Amino acid sequence: MTFKFLSRTLLLSTLLLIQQTMFAQTEMRWDTHGVGFIVPDNFKIEKNDAEEYTASNDNLFLSIIPIQDENLTADHLAEAVVEMAKELEYDVVDNADETTMQDFTGYYVVGQKDGVNAIVMAMMDTESSTNLLVVIVYADNSQRMALKIANSFFAYD
């Protein structure tokens, strides 16, 4: 009975460790614009300058572009994200709605074009004039992680 208990405990511990490793996440920050977000720990930064931040892994691609406009309103964000989705010529738009998270308010669409899935967001920092256009492209099996990234944005000083 003790051997059985130890075997099960070892198996359970191993499975939990594997699961934790598979879903390990890390915080990334774009210091130029004071924005942070959570991504899988195997994300690699591709571009990080004042005009664009891009990072990816095998299943997800994240692109952030700043919009500096202190007169921008939430209504403008809705128009901007819908216009961006139209310009990208999405075949299917599953969701389109407002979002608020930490210091950001904005608008997003979840869509698909030629079998490629994406979340397109326009976000406004309520404490500064930094506003962001965000695109998260994801593989079919990675929608949940794409949504986690989309919901993890925060501003910092």
What is the structure's pLDDT at 69? 66
Structural domains present in the chain: 25-155 (3.40.1000.10)
**Whole-angstrom distance, CA of residue 143 vs CA of residue 151:** 12
Q: Is residue 70 over pLDDT 90?
A: no
Token pair 């920050």 in the structure block, residue: 29
Residues 119-148 have a mean pLDDT of: 88
* Residue 61: band (very low, low, confident or very high) from pLDDT cuts 50, 70, 90: very high
Q: How far is CA 2 from CA 5, 7, 13, 15, 19, in A?
A: 5, 9, 16, 20, 26
**Whole-angstrom distance, CA of residue 42 vs CA of residue 28:** 11
* Residue 83: band (very low, low, confident or very high) from pLDDT cuts 50, 70, 90: confident
What is the structure's pLDDT at 7? 53
Q: Is residue 120 over pLDDT 50?
A: yes
Of residues 63 and 128, the one with the higher pLDDT is 63
Residues 39-54 pLDDT 10s: 999 999 999 999 999 9
